Amino acid sequence: MRISRVGWTVLVVFTLALVLGSGPGIWLVDGTARVPLPGGLVLPALYAWGLLWYFVEALCIVIAYIFVWRAPDDEIPAAPPVSGNDV
């Protein structure tokens, strides 16, 4: 089975998000800083960093579902014929 260019890109971005989100990437963030959000909300920078990479991972999964995890057209089984008596 050959992996498409989209598949490799999603794999690399997802792996990068795993490393930066909950792995050694958390050491890149100042844990005492705060991130202001619209509506007057304030999140710790470390939490905002983790959320950012969580959404990147979720987006990678959606893109893989739409473009990568599909059966080739010749492997999709045809629907069985429907007769009028089956209802």
pLDDT tens for the chain, residues 1 to 87: 577 888 999 999 999 999 998 888 888 888 788 888 888 888 888 888 889 999 999 999 999 998 888 766 666 667 777 776 655
Could you tell me if residue 36 is inside a domain? Answer: yes
Q: Give the number of domains in the chain.
A: 1
How far apart, in whole angstroms, are the C-alpha atoms of residue 17 and residue 57? Answer: 6
Determine, yes or no, domain membership for 82: no
Which pLDDT value is given to residue 23? 82
Does a structural domain hold residue 47?
yes
Q: Within a domain: residue 83?
A: no
Range of the domain at 53: 5-70
Considering all CA atoms of the chain, what is the largest pairwise distance in Å, rounded to the nearest integer?
Answer: 70
Q: Is residue 53 part of a domain?
A: yes
Pair of tokens at residue 20: 């930066």
Place of tokens 């100042």: 30
Residue 79 domain-assigned (yes or no) = no
Looking at the domain assignment, is residue 15 inside a domain?
A: yes
Residues 6 or more apart from 22 whose CB is under 8 A from it? 50, 53
Q: Look at residue 77 and tell me if it is in a domain.
A: no
pTM value?
Answer: 0.72
